[in-house]
Structure 1
Amino acid sequence: MSITRRGLLSGAALAAGSALLYGCSSGSDKNSSGSDNSGSGNSGDTDASTTSAKKGDATKPVARPTSFQESPALKGKGLPPVDQRLPKNPYVIPHRWTGAGKYGGKLQMVVFGTTGAANASSVAEFFYGSSLLRFLNDGLDIGPGLVDQWSANDDTTQWTLHFREGMKWSDGHPFTVDDVLFWWEDMVLPGHDALVPPASNVSGSGKLVTMHKTDDNTLTLTWDTPAPLFPDELATWVNGPGGNGPIWVLPKHYLKQFHPKYNKKVGKDWDVTGGLWEQKADFKRNPDLPTMNGYKCKTFDNNNGITLERNPYYYVINTNGDQLPYIDQMQFTMQQKAETILLQIQQGTVDYCHGRFNNITLGDVSTLSSKKDSGNYDILLWNTGSGTGDMFFFNYDYIAKDEKYGKLIRDPRLVRAISYGWDRKTTQKTLYFGTGELTTGTLGTATAEFHADPDGPQSYKQWRDAYNSYDPAKAKSLLAELGLKDVNGDGYVEFPDGSKLTIDVPYSADIGKDGAAKDDQLVSDMKKIGLRMLRVPIAPSAFADEWTSGSLMSHTNWEASNAGTILGAPAWLLPVSNSYWAPLEASWFTYTGTGKNETELDVAPIKRHPPRMKPDAGGPIEKLTSLYNQAISESDEMKRNQLVWQMIKIHVEEGPFFLGSTANYQGVTTKNRDLQNVPTAGNLALGGDINDWEAPSPAMYDPECWYWTNPEQHS
Structure 2
Amino acid sequence: MITGSSRSPFAGQSRRGFLGTAGIALGALAAGCTAREPLPPTDGAGAAALESPVLVEQVQAGKLPALADRLPKVPQVVQPVAGEGKHGGTLHRAQTEPTDNASVTAFASAGLIEWNFEATGPQPSLAEEYTRSEDNKIFTFVLREGLKWSDGEPFGVDDLLFAFQDWIGNSTLVPAIPVWFADADQKLPKITKQDERTLVLTFTQSFALFEKYLCHPAVSIQLLKPKHYLQQFHAEYADQAELEAATRKAGFDSWDQYFADRCNPWTNPDLPVLGAYRVSKAAGPGGTATLDRNPYYHKTDPAGRQLPYIDKLQVQVLDQAALDLRASNGDLDFQGHFLGYNTTQVYLQNADSKGFRVLRWKPTASLLALAPNLSHADPVWRELFATKDFRHALSYAIDREEINQTLLGGLGVIRQPVSTEGSPYGIEGGGTTAIEHDPDRANQLLDGLGLERQGDLRRYRGKPLEFTLTYLDSNFEIPRADAFNLVRKHWAAVGVKINLRPVDDTLYLQLRVSNDFDIDGTTTPEDDWDLEPVWFIPTSPNSHTAPGYGMWYNTSGKDGIEPSAEFKQLITNWERLRTAATDEDRIAAGQAITQQHHENVYVIGLMKLPFKPVIVNTSIKGVREDEPKLSFYYGREGITKPEQIYYAD
In 1, are the aligned partners of 2:32 and 2:77 still within 8 Å (CA)? no
Q: 1:646 to 1:513 in 2, by over 3 A?
A: closer
Task: Choose which of 33, 41, 51 in structure 2 pairs with 1:70.
Answer: 51
> Runs of 5+ in structure 2 lacking a partner?
17-23, 40-46
- Following superposition of structure 1 onto structure 2, how do residues 683-702 of structure 1 map, counting pairs within 5 Å? 687-690=627-630, 692-702=631-641
Question: Distance in 1 between the 2:453 and 2:393 partners?
Answer: 16
Counterpart of 1:295? 277
Counterparts of residues 164-313 of structure 1 (less than 5 Å)? 164-189=144-169, 191-192=171-172, 194-203=174-183, 207-239=187-219, 247-263=222-238, 264-265=240-241, 266=243, 275-303=257-285, 304-313=287-296
User: Is the Cα contact below 8 Å between 2:478 and 2:609 reproduced in 1?
Assistant: no
1:570 and 1:487, CA in 2 relative to 1: closer, same or farther beyond 3 A?
same
Range with bigger deviation, 156-165 or 568-577: 568-577
Name the amino acid aligned to 2:628.
G
Q: Whole-Å Cα distance in 2 between the matches of residues 673 and 552 of structure 1?
A: 47
How many angstroms does 1:482 deviate by? 3.4
Q: 1:103-151, CA deviations, whole angstroms, 9 ceiling, x for partnerless residues?
A: 22211111024xxx12x14323413632232223442232222223221
- Alignment-derived partner of residue 47 in structure 1: none
**Structure 1 equivalent of residue 359 of structure 2:** 380
1:6 equivalent in structure 2: 11
Specify which of 458, 463, 466 is matched with residue 492 of structure 1. Answer: 458
Mapped pair 1:367 → 2:372: no
Distance 1:431 1:178 in 2: 53
Checking the alignment, whether the CA contact within 8 Å between 2:38 and 2:74 is kept in structure 1 is: no
Verify the 8 A CA contact 1:58 1:142 in the aligned structure 2: no
Where 1:630 maps in the other structure, the secondary structure is: helix
Asked if the contact 1:442–1:660 (Cα under 8 Å) also holds between the matched residues in 2, the reply is no
Q: RMSD of the TM alignment (CA)? A: 3.0
Structure 1 residues 289 and 65: CA distance shift in structure 2, 3 A? same
- 1:32 corresponding residue in structure 2: none
Aligned AA (1:622): K
Contact preservation (8 Å) 2:213, 2:219: no
* Cα contact 1:204–1:630 (8 A) shared by 2: no
Partner Cα distance (1:373, 1:704) in 2: 26
Q: Cα gap change, 1:207/1:347 in structure 2, threshold over 3 Å: closer, same or farther?
A: closer
Is 2:144–2:197's contact at 8 Å kept on the other side of the alignment?
yes
1: CA distance, partners of 2:324 / 2:511: 31
Contact 1:236 1:695 in 2 (8 A): yes
Q: 1:368 to 1:511 in 2, by over 3 A?
A: closer
Aligned partner of 1:504: which letter?
Answer: T
Counterpart-to-counterpart distance in 2, 1:150 and 1:445:
32
Tell me the residue number matched to 1:708. 647
1:574 aligns with 2:537: yes
Q: Choose the corresponding residue for 2:323, options 317, 324, 341.
A: 341
Cα deviation, 1:434-474, whole Å, max 9, x if unaligned, reads 55643221135542232xxxxxx42xx2x312222221122
* Aligned residue runs from structure 1 range 599-678, under 5 A: 601=558, 605=559, 613=560, 615-616=562-563, 619-653=565-599, 655-662=600-607, 665-678=610-623
Q: What are the within-5 Å matches in structure 2 for residues 119-158 of structure 1?
A: 120-127=100-107, 129-158=109-138
Residues 1:525 and 2:506 are matched in the alignment = no
Shift of 1:192: 2.8
**How far apart, in 2, do the equivalents of 1:620 and 1:60 lie?**
47
Q: How does 1:531-610 map to 2 (within 5 A)?
A: 531-563=496-528, 567-581=530-544, 582-590=546-554, 601=558, 605=559
Measured against aligned partners, the alpha-carbon deviations of 1:385-409 in whole angstroms (never above 9, x if no partner) come to: 45x622221333332xx33333332
Deviation at 1:61, TM superposition (A): 5.4
Distance, in Å, in 1 between the alignment partners of 2:552 and 2:143 is 33
Q: Distance in 1 between matches of 2:32 and 2:253?
A: 44
Cα pair 1:562 1:695 within 8 Å, conserved: no
* Counterpart AA for 1:221: L
1:106 aligns with 90
CA drift of 1:59 comes to 4.2
What is the TM-score when the length of structure 1 is the normalising length?
0.79
Instruction: Note if contact 1:233-1:569 (Cα within 8 Å) is conserved in structure 2.
Output: no
Asked if the contact 2:121/2:212 (under 8 Å) is kept, the reply is no
- Take 1:121 and 1:415, find their aligned partners in 2: how far apart are those partners? 37
2:303 is the counterpart of 1:320: yes
The structural deviation recorded for 1:633 is: 2.6
> In 2 relative to 1, CA 589–440 (structure 1 residues): closer, same or farther, beyond 3 Å?
same
Judging by fraction of residues, say which structure has more helix: 2
Residues 37-73 of structure 1 deviation map (CA, whole Å, 9 limit, x = unaligned): xxxxxxxxxxxxxxxx945544445462764711110
2:255 and 2:455 map into 1 onto residues whose CA distance is: 48
Question: Cα distance, 1:673 vs. partner?
Answer: 0.9
1:206 Cα offset (Å): 5.5
Instruction: Find the aligned partners of 1:646 and 1:345 in 2 and give their Cα distance.
Output: 43
- Structure 1: which amino acid aligns with 2:345? S
Total equivalences in the alignment: 614
Shift of residue 294, structure 1, vs aligned partner: 0.9
Q: Aligned residue for 2:21?
A: none
Letter in 2 for 1:136: N
CA distance in 2, matches of 1:200, 1:278: 19
% identity of equivalent residues:
22
Please give the secondary structure, in 2, of the residue aligned with 1:301: coil
Does structure 1 retain, via aligned residues, the 8 Å contact 2:234–2:256?
no
Q: 1:440 — aligned with what?
A: 416
Structure 2 counterpart of 1:526, one-letter code = W
User: How far apart, in 1, do the equivalents of 2:523 and 2:598 lie?
Assistant: 20
Q: By how many angstroms is 1:289 displaced?
A: 0.7
More moved, 518-527 vs 697-706: 518-527
CA contact (8 A) 1:65 1:320 kept: no
The residue that corresponds to 1:93 in the other structure is 78
Q: Are the structure 2 counterparts of residues 320 and 524 from structure 1 closer, same or farther at C-alpha, using a change threshold of 3 Å? A: farther
- CA distance in structure 1 between the aligned counterparts of 2:126 and 2:555, rounded to whole angstroms: 28
What is the aligned partner in structure 2 of residue 398 from structure 1?
A: 376
**Using the alignment, how far apart are the partners of 2:256 and 2:513 within structure 1?**
16
CA drift at 1:156: 2.8
TM-superposed deviation, 1:276: 2.5
Deviation per CA, 1:168-205: give whole Å up to 9, x if none: 11111111122222222123236435243232433466
* Deviation, structure 1 residue 560: 0.7
Closer, same or farther in 2 for the Cα pair 1:670/1:331, shift >3 Å?
same
How far is 1:708 from its partner?
1.4
The alpha-carbon distance between structure 1 residues 273 and 72, as it changes in their structure 2 partners (threshold 3 A), is: same
Q: Which piece of structure 1 moves more, 432-441 or 134-143?
A: 432-441
TM-score (norm 2): 0.86
* 2:361 match: secondary structure: strand
Change in CA separation of 1:121 and 1:421 when aligned onto 2, cut-off 3 Å: farther
Q: Which has the higher contact order (CA 8 A, sep 6+)?
A: 1
